[in-house]
Structure 1
Amino acid sequence: MTEPTEPTGPTEPHDPVGEAAGPRRHVVFVTWKAGNAPAFEAAKRLGHHVTLVRSLLMEQSQNIDFTTSPYARFVDDVHVLKDATDADALRARVLEIHRERPVDGFVATVDALVVPVAWIAEEIGVPFTDARAAEAAKQKNRCREILAAAGIDSTRHAVVTDFEEAAAFAASTGYPVVVKPARGSGSEGVHVVADEDRLREVLGQVAADGSHQAGVLVEEYLSGRFVSAELGLARGRFLRLAVSERSTWHRHEALETGTTIPAGISAADHDRVMEFAEAVVGAVGLGLGVFHVEIMLGDDGTPRLIELNPRLMGSCLPNLFRLAGGADIFDLLVRIHLNEEIERGPTAFDRYATVRWFGAADTAPNPGRVPDLAWAAAEYGDHLHALTVRFPEGDMLRPCRGNLGNFGEVQVVHPDRAESIRIAEEIVARTARRLGIEVTG
């Protein structure tokens, strides 16, 4: 792929896809995710002018070919930056865009871009998620300090510089403890540590590879049911979108292997989770947006924060939301970021949508060639929505210990929760047998 140095656009003439009546406003998306094409379509369907700012380095590092995405017919102007996380380069390009056509709303769905976009939006006076609050959300120890001061969550934690400090913290709380980057996402670099020997090993790895540049956060281990709350916030009003249940891998508990929407929890637990998530977002002061709040629901019904993400839920989860009967979350995302008044009650789901991701459990030869997957559709019919396997380049598969290490994904939808989960896990297991390797799903 060649690297454009100037904006490319406008694109080929687009199909208006039934543009809505009303004022034509300018929506700027800043992302490297080709999977956000439905958001571009939603903005176009609502009748708006759509500008996309891409990030070439991140696309290349994640093996994304934006040119094969169906986004083009929904985008009016495209700007390609070498690295959109370069705050100065991003600011310069957005200011140029704003001079040519004033921006009415920004959408950023990638962790690394929410904060820089927030600062730019504040500078030019466009409503967006509060920049200081977004920074606090991503700086995990700062987020915990805010919640403790507000009396919302008292999970014990400490930022440490070496093994001795980490061991002293663990001695005060007891093992296991959780070790993670003070700033990060995607379960990358997160470890559940069972004893002092393993703690020494993990801290040694961190020191050697420099992976926790923002600091090493050690936290009290939380047990219970791992769920997430998906919340919208528009003009001071919370919109309860979904509570999802999350699965993790038994060999590396910090690795998420999938999600089911909606979660199989009681109405009372659902309300407790949502009330807690609203309190978290309110205390941090995010102000506007769609947020993904990861929570541990204790056996006693007490919610505790795992992580606050000032962005829409990632990966294929917006699609799961739709498959479960929640309608188009991208339409809502665009409207919220245009600061519209939105009237919406809680989501009423009529199906359960499950995803399972999988990668290599251990170092293994790269099969290279994707096996025939037609058997799955033939056997599971309409319950199987998608099954994809895409191997990275190289002769060997590295052990998957974070979301970026997955090479496979299955999506299933079913009116019964247990069947939705069972079918997804069965397909993963059968795919692994055909590959001849153990996987993480």
Structure 2
Amino acid sequence: MTQPHAKHVVFVTWKAGNAPAFEAAKRLGHHVTLIRSLLMEQSQNIDFDSSPYARYVDTVHVLKDATDLDALRTRVRAVHAERPVDGFVATVDALVVPVARIAEEIGVPFTDAAAAETAKQKNRCREVLAAAGVDRTRHAVVGGFEEAAAFAAATGYPVVVKPARGSGSEGAHVIADEAQLRRVLGQAADGRAYAAGILVEEYLTGRFVSAEIGLAHGRFLRLAVSERSTWHRHEALETGTTIPAGIPAEEHDRVMEFAEAAVGALGLRLGIFHVEVMLAQDGTPRLIELNPRIMGSCLPNLFRLAGGGDIFELLVRIHLNEEIERGPTAFTHHATVRWFGAADTTPTPGHVPDLGWAAAEYGDSLHSLTVRFPEGDVLLPCRGNLGNFGEVQVVHTDRATSIRIAEEIVARTAEQLGIEVTR
């Protein structure tokens, strides 16, 4: 039951997986309002109504498209008039900026709207960080092949091509040579992913990690450095994460200092942020991208499994503009996720095989294993995070064992399916 001192928390999301965040807000005694986005749910085959979210939410509003700023503004103003909003939570890339704009209009603390917009416009983000002396990765927004080829000639291959604005690794490619560049940009001309422009960047080498940091009342909260894995056939595709990263303490601190400098240079002001970093062999951190929202997918659950606590509760408290006293996270375990999809176009298997062997063999180390095929007779090649049909989560006190078990389960599941998967 909502307590007399309850504040009003408004979530704007299409993710049924955010139910733990709704639960955290309710557990803290607050009144919870949820604004859903029907088109986004449908496009991702999300069955929100079958999720357990309802028990944690006091009021639900369903918009056709919550990214429609005018429609969202009208709904939020009506909600605010009925019960003043104390804090917003938006965990999805496409919704952070519109929520930030509306929060500023009605005077509710939230992530800075202009800074969030800059973070999502990747070339602009790089320009701001270069001006601040934080990161000087070479990049250019190009109109087509000729300009991209000129950039590559100056920097050398490989180069990275990605949408100037986007998420989930969709449309991102590591380009090995001019022939591949011509082919990828020829395909990009017809794709909506590049509507905001084509960004070409120098290729960064090293160890791929991410920093999860909070910011409240001008103070940074160092939450985690995670290590990331990618697919050898398509380097831009992430295949998994382990929390915490297996890096020395001095490298951990260097990554955190870099992430704090990047967030500070943008002026994001308030929230939990996901900063992807390439840690070069000489120890220099370089930005891959900065997301003005909490880490996505199942990563908040990995954080909890590794012993970091309830990051969703922390998220709610930050967005209610509370003073947070918290030291660095003291993890007790290593939690690993591996995602997988079809490596190439292949017929959809007729059924999901019996996966009971995984729990029988790996016991408590296996947290979850799911395989869910999209509708249709054919599985398309997975080249972005949204193309995965499988996920395994593993937790163990030993980092190497956590990773090994996750990768073994993916390999054996692929054998059962009889298809090659991304891993």
Q: Tell me the TM-score range normalised by the shorter chain.
A: over 0.9
1:308 to 270, 285, 290: 290
Alignment of 1:184-195 (within 5 A): 184-195=166-177
Residue matched to 1:89 = 71
Residue matched to 1:12 = none
Q: Is 1:350 aligned to 2:350, yes or no?
A: no
What's the CA shift string for 1:46-77, capped at 9, x where partnerless?
00000000001111110110111111110000
1:268 to 247, 250, 262: 250
Alignment of 1:401-420 (within 5 A): 401-420=383-402
Residue matched to 1:138 = 120
Question: Equivalents in 2 of 1:435, 1:317: separation in Å?
Answer: 26
Q: Is 1:422 aligned to 2:422, yes or no?
A: no
3-state SS of 1:319 partner: helix
Indicate conservation of the 8 Å contact 1:140/1:182, yes or no: yes
Gaps of 5+ in 1: 1-15
Alignment of 1:292-371 (within 5 A): 292-371=274-353
Question: Equivalents in 2 of 1:182, 1:72: separation in Å?
Answer: 37
Residue matched to 1:119 = 101
Indicate conservation of the 8 Å contact 1:368/1:391, yes or no: no
3-state SS of 2:157 partner: coil
Q: Is 1:246 aligned to 2:228, yes or no?
A: yes
The worse-fitting range, judged by mean Cα deviation, of 143-152 and 363-372 is 363-372
Alignment of 1:8-407 (within 5 A): 16=1, 23-407=5-389
Indicate conservation of the 8 Å contact 2:101/2:113, yes or no: yes
Indicate conservation of the 8 Å contact 1:354/1:424, yes or no: yes
3-state SS of 1:211 partner: helix
Question: Equivalents in 2 of 1:274, 1:368: separation in Å?
Answer: 46
3-state SS of 2:215 partner: strand
What's the Cα RMSD here? 0.8
Question: Equivalents in 1 of 2:142, 2:190: separation in Å?
Answer: 16
The amino acid that maps onto 1:54 is R
Gaps of 5+ in 2: none
Indicate conservation of the 8 Å contact 1:289/1:337, yes or no: yes
TM-score (norm 1): 0.95
Question: Equivalents in 2 of 1:430, 1:326: separation in Å?
Answer: 30
Question: Equivalents in 2 of 1:180, 1:22: separation in Å?
Answer: 49
Indicate conservation of the 8 Å contact 1:353/1:414, yes or no: yes
Indicate conservation of the 8 Å contact 2:243/2:334, yes or no: yes
Indicate conservation of the 8 Å contact 1:230/1:292, yes or no: yes
The worse-fitting range, judged by mean Cα deviation, of 363-372 and 197-206 is 363-372
Alignment length (residue pairs): 423
3-state SS of 1:326 partner: coil
The amino acid that maps onto 1:428 is V
Q: Report deviation, 1:210.
A: 3.9
3-state SS of 1:325 partner: coil
Question: Equivalents in 2 of 1:354, 1:323: separation in Å?
Answer: 9
Indicate conservation of the 8 Å contact 1:179/1:218, yes or no: yes
Question: Equivalents in 2 of 1:437, 1:31: separation in Å?
Answer: 34
Q: Report deviation, 1:22.
A: 7.5
What's the CA shift string for 1:362-420, capped at 9, x where partnerless?
00000141111111101100000000000000000000000000000000000000000
What's the CA shift string for 1:135-155, capped at 9, x where partnerless?
000000000000000011000
Q: 1:210 to 1:52 in 2, by over 3 A?
A: closer
Question: Equivalents in 2 of 1:26, 1:313: separation in Å?
Answer: 23
Moved over 6 A (4+): none
The worse-fitting range, judged by mean Cα deviation, of 368-377 and 229-238 is 368-377
Question: Equivalents in 2 of 1:432, 1:440: separation in Å?
Answer: 9
3-state SS of 1:85 partner: coil
What's the CA shift string for 1:303-337, capped at 9, x where partnerless?
00000000000000000000000010010000000
Q: Report deviation, 1:30.
A: 0.1
The amino acid that maps onto 1:192 is V
Residue matched to 2:417 = 435
TM-score (norm 2): 0.99
Question: Equivalents in 1 of 2:5, 2:349: separation in Å?
Answer: 52
